[in-house]
């Protein structure tokens, strides 16, 4: 069961340089668009696939610079005996140290015995596959894998046209399931002859007048046709090759007619069964054509939950369903840069990452992530984004920004989670209350990694900021919304409890109605504290705060306190930054 131990790509499409040690099991590549995920799959496919001819163009070179040749080198381990014969590949067998990623020229005890296969393309656009070894080069030797060995290790690609594997074409997964092969000898040749004869008997009667004219002209012109001409199937047109034998269902309908998702599922199952013969699979956009439950089945068929893994799989996805179904050791973030080398970073299984994979997988598919302390902040962002989008058609989501809900608790958790995401290359903003200050060292580590944060003003939670900062009309709307959500008796009870019986809801209303008196600061502060009641907060849910942000905060923000406006505007600018 051959495995790819190391991938090195130079000057191929969007990748100037990439060195990566993939997992021996499932490798799910995620990241923003145009980061190079599909390019990595194509590089593996082109280098390892069994192809005699591949077309390249100038656009396949990094930056269209054909003076810098394309080089794709794969280090292959878990070699079958056929690839470890000293007579055939002895001078090309080497040792791979998975800890250091280094190649040793001679096989060594305790290290993986490997072959290095390289695909090179220069300005003449002619691909050249060679095995790489300094020992062989010193002896003036150069060779490629034998064709039968290339067929042995060639990966199966489950792409849009997965149905190509549903017939016995050359390289099809069907040919790798067993040693059986269809008989394309006398029986099929006879079937072709019978088809020509049977068709001719019918067509000659239907085309009699045309055949008569052709025969007459042939005789007039001395063209030898041996008597009456016939309308038969062309022998070349009905020749039967490998692809003529295909899978059909019980009713005789070709399985090629299956939907894209069903074809992928079936081919994935066959690839799993053929793993001993072809142990590498490539799947671009794994979610294509599949409902969530069938996507899960496909991932499981590829060995997502098995140890040891039955296949080495390289796949890409833009689906949060796929991300959620995998663990952090199976997820790899691809980071590209026009001048620096590409990176493929393992997400990992630390608690602060794995919990995000399960709860907010969308975050791993975004460019920028806002880490929210709890449901209130998530609702705030969603509501404001909805409001802003209605105003100027400029959505936070369209800018590639997502959010993570840490779920409350100590504010340090937000910065720890933010640091983990920052180390994976995401832009990260932490949004937290200021009623419980975080540990300075935790904040400093996050900032040192390039993270940013917004904290409400000293001692305030989000509800405090709203009641203190919004204009009087906005506070009226907040209080009325709390009454609608909680019922008047409960709101009144929260106010009375928070004030130790000194202030009632009725008194607040009476004072407010007296000549439209503004809310005193102490009443605003009291309402903020009462609204965030520990067990029964007025707005403590994503939906409630989303509606508050959209219906109340958005319209009243221009007349709110300047300091609060500055914080919200900072949030807007960060979320919409390119």
Q: Can you tell me the mean pLDDT for 275-298?
A: 82
Using the predicted structure, report yes or no on whether residue 356 has a pLDDT greater than 60.
yes
Is residue 327 one of the residues assigned to a domain? no
Last residue of a domain, one of 105, 134, 151: 151
The pLDDT tens digits of the residues spanning 372-417 come to 999 999 999 999 999 999 998 888 888 889 999 998 888 899 999 9
How confident is the model at residue 140, as a pLDDT?
Answer: 86
How confident is the model at residue 338, as a pLDDT?
Answer: 77
- Cα separation, 282 vs 154, in Å, equals 11
Higher-confidence residue: 158 or 25? 25
Higher-confidence residue: 183 or 470? 470
Please tell me which of 354-358, 516-520, 527-531 the model is most confident about, judged by mean pLDDT: 527-531
pLDDT band with cut points at 50, 70 and 90 for residue 198: low
Structure tokens at 235: 């022998």
Last residue of a domain, one of 151, 171, 205: 151
Q: Which among 281, 284, 346 has a CA at the least distance from the CA of 317?
A: 284
Is residue 325 one of the residues assigned to a domain? no
How confident is the model at residue 410, as a pLDDT?
Answer: 85
Same domain, 211 and 145: no
Same domain, 192 and 135: no
How confident is the model at residue 479, as a pLDDT?
Answer: 97
Same domain, 415 and 549: yes
- Cα separation, 212 vs 357, in Å, equals 75
Is residue 322 one of the residues assigned to a domain? no
Same domain, 574 and 433: yes
Answer for the pair 326, 361: CB distance below 8 angstroms, yes or no. no
The pLDDT tens digits of the residues spanning 87-137 come to 889 899 999 998 998 998 888 888 999 999 999 999 999 999 999 998 888
Same domain, 190 and 147: no
Same domain, 384 and 530: yes
How confident is the model at residue 548, as a pLDDT?
Answer: 97
Report the DSSP pairing between strands 15-20 and 3-12.
Answer: antiparallel
Same domain, 535 and 408: yes
Is residue 569 one of the residues assigned to a domain? yes
Beta bridge partners of residue 404, listed in sequence order: 371
Higher-confidence residue: 157 or 160? 157
pLDDT band with cut points at 50, 70 and 90 for residue 8: very high
Mean pLDDT of the chain: 87
Same domain, 427 and 499: yes
For the sheet with 312-316, list strands across it: 156-157, 280-283, 312-316, 26-30, 331-335, 343-346
Is residue 10 one of the residues assigned to a domain? yes
Element (H, E) at 48: helix 37-48
**Which residues lie below 8 Å from residue 460, measured CB to CB, with a gap of 6+?**
433, 434, 435, 468, 528
- 132: containing domain: 3-22+49-151
The pLDDT tens digits of the residues spanning 292-322 come to 988 898 899 889 999 999 889 999 999 999 9
Is residue 258 one of the residues assigned to a domain? no
**Which residues lie below 8 Å from residue 286, measured CB to CB, with a gap of 6+?**
28, 295, 298, 299, 315, 316, 317, 319, 322
Is residue 178 one of the residues assigned to a domain? no
pLDDT band with cut points at 50, 70 and 90 for residue 465: very high
Same domain, 145 and 204: no
- Cα separation, 16 vs 30, in Å, equals 19
How confident is the model at residue 340, as a pLDDT?
Answer: 87
The pLDDT tens digits of the residues spanning 211-226 come to 677 777 667 655 565 7
Number of domains comprising the chain: 3
**Which residues lie below 8 Å from residue 303, measured CB to CB, with a gap of 6+?**
25, 26, 272, 309, 310, 311, 313
Same domain, 386 and 499: yes
Same domain, 536 and 411: yes
CA 540 to chain centre: 33
Same domain, 193 and 147: no
Beta bridge partners of residue 266, listed in sequence order: none
Last residue of a domain, one of 224, 240, 256: 240
How confident is the model at residue 237, as a pLDDT?
Answer: 56
pLDDT band with cut points at 50, 70 and 90 for residue 563: very high
Task: Report percent pLDDT > 70 for the chain.
Answer: 84
**Which residues lie below 8 Å from residue 21, measured CB to CB, with a gap of 6+?**
5, 6, 7, 98, 101
pLDDT band with cut points at 50, 70 and 90 for residue 186: low
pLDDT band with cut points at 50, 70 and 90 for residue 253: low
- Cα separation, 367 vs 175, in Å, equals 42
Is residue 519 one of the residues assigned to a domain? yes
Q: Which of 134-148, 204-218, 334-348 has the lowest mean pLDDT?
A: 204-218
């Amino acid at each position: 069961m051959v495995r790819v131990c190391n991938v090195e790509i130079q000057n191929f499409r969007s990748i100037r340089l990439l060195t990566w040690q993939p997992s021996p099991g499932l490798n799910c590549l995620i990241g923003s668009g145009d980061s190079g995920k599909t390019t990595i799959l194509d590089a593996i496919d082109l280098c390892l696939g069994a192809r005699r001819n591949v077309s390249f163009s100038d656009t396949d070179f990094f930056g269209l610079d054909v003076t810098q040749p394309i080089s794709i080198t794969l280090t292959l381990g878990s070699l079958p005996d056929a690839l470890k014969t000293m007579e055939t590949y002895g001078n090309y067998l080497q040792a791979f140290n998975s800890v250091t990623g280094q190649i040793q020229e001679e096989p060594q005890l305790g290290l993986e015995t490997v072959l290095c296969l390289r695909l090179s393309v220069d300005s003449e656009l002619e691909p050249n596959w060679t095995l790489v070894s300094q020992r062989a080069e010193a002896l003036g030797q150069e060779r490629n894998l034998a064709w039968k060995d290339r067929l042995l290790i060639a990966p199966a690609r489950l792409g849009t046209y997965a149905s190509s594997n549903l017939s016995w074409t050359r390289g099809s997964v069907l040919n790798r399931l067993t040693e059986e092969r269809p008989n394309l000898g006398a029986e099929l040749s006879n079937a072709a002859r019978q088809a020509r004869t049977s068709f001719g008997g019918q067509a000659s009667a239907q085309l009699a007048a045309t055949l008569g004219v052709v025969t007459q002209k042939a005789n007039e012109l001395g063209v030898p046709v041996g008597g009456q001409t016939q309308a038969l199937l062309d022998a070349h047109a009905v020749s039967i090759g490998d692809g003529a034998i295909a899978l059909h269902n019980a009713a005789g309908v070709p399985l090629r007619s299956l939907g894209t998702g069903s074809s992928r599922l079936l081919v994935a199952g066959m690839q799993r069964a053929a793993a001993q013969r072809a142990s590498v699979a490539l799947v671009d956009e794994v979610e294509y054509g599949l409902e969530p439950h069938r996507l899960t089945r496909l991932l499981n068929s590829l060995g997502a939950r098995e140890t040891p893994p039955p296949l080495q799989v390289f796949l890409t996805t833009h689906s949060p369903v796929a991300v959620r179904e995998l663990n952090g050791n199976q997820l790899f973030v691809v980071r590209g840069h026009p001048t620096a080398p590409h990176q493929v970073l393992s997400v990992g299984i630390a608690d602060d990452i794995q919990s995000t994979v399960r709860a907010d997988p969308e975050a791993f598919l975004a460019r920028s992530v806002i880490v929210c302390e709890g449901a209130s902040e998530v609702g705030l962002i969603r509501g404001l984004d909805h409001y802003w989008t209605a105003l100027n058609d400029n959505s936070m989501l369209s800018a590639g920004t997502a959010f993570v809900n840490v779920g409350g608790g100590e504010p340090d958790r937000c910065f720890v989670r933010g640091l983990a995401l920052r180390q994976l290359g995401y832009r990260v903003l932490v949004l937290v209350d200021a009623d419980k200050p975080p540990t300075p060292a935790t904040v400093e580590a996050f900032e040192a990694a390039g993270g940013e944060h917004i904290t409400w003003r000293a001692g305030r939670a989000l509800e405090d900021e709203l009641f203190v900062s919004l204009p009087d009309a906005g506070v009226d709307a907040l209080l009325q919304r709390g009454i609608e959500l909680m019922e008047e008796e409960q709101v009144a009870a929260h106010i009375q409890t928070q004030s130790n019986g000194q202030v009632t809801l009725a008194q607040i209303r009476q004072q407010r109605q007296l000549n439209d008196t503004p809310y005193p600061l102490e009443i605003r502060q009291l309402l903020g504290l009462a609204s965030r009641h520990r067990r029964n907060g007025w707005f403590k849910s994503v939906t409630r705060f989303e509606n508050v942000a959209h219906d109340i905060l958005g319209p009243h923000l221009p007349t709110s306190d300047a300091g609060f406006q500055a914080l919200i505007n900072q949030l807007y600018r960060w979320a919409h930054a390119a």
